[in-house]
Amino acid sequence: MRVFILTLLAMIAFAGNSLLCRLALKRTTIDAASFTFIRILSGAVALWIIVIISKGTWRKAGSWASALALFAYAAAFSFAYISLSAGTGALLLFGAVQATMILWGLRTGERMRTRQWLGLALAVGGLVALLFPGLSAPPINGALLMICAGIAWGIYSLRGKGAGDPATATAGNFLRAVVLATGLSMALLPWLKLDRGGIGYAIFSGAIASGVGYVIWYSALPELKAASAATVQLSVPVLAATGGILFLGEPITLRFLLASLALLGGIALVVAKNTQVVPPD
* Per-residue pLDDT tens digits for 163-182: 567 778 888 999 999 999 99
CB contact set of 180 (below 8 Å; sequence gap of 6+): 67, 68, 71
pLDDT at res. 275: 45
Burial class (CB in 10 A: 0-12, 13-18, 19+), 46: buried
CA distances in angstroms from 5 to 24, 165, 214, 219, 221, listed in the order given: 28, 23, 14, 11, 12
CA distances in angstroms from 166 to 44, 163, 185, 281, listed in the order given: 13, 7, 27, 12
Q: Are the beta carbons of 250 and 92 closer than 8 angstroms?
A: no
- Of 194, 187, 189, 152, which Cα lies nearest the Cα of 173? 152
Instruction: Decide: helix, strand or coil at residue 193.
Output: coil
pLDDT of 64 above 60: yes
Query: In this predicted model, what pLDDT tens digit does every residue of 82-100 receive, in sequence order?
Result: 999 888 888 888 888 878 8
Query: How many other CB atoms are found less than 10 A from the CB of residue 154?
Result: 25
pLDDT at res. 124: 78
Rg (CA), the chain: 18
Span of 4-18, 62-76, 117-131, 167-181 with lowest mean pLDDT: 117-131
Which DSSP string corresponds to 93-129? HHHHHHHHHHHHHHHTT----HHHHHHHHHHHHHHHH
pTM summary value: 0.83
The identity of residue 137, as a single letter, is A
Output the CA torsion sign for 89, 152, 52, 37: negative
pLDDT of 226 above 80: no
pLDDT at res. 229: 55
Alpha helices in 28-85 (DSSP H): 32-55, 64-80
Q: Cα angle vertex 59, ends 56, 64, to 5°?
A: 140
pLDDT at res. 161: 62
- Of 243, 183, 154, 147, which Cα lies nearest the Cα of 37? 183
pLDDT at res. 164: 63
Average pLDDT for 225-252: 74
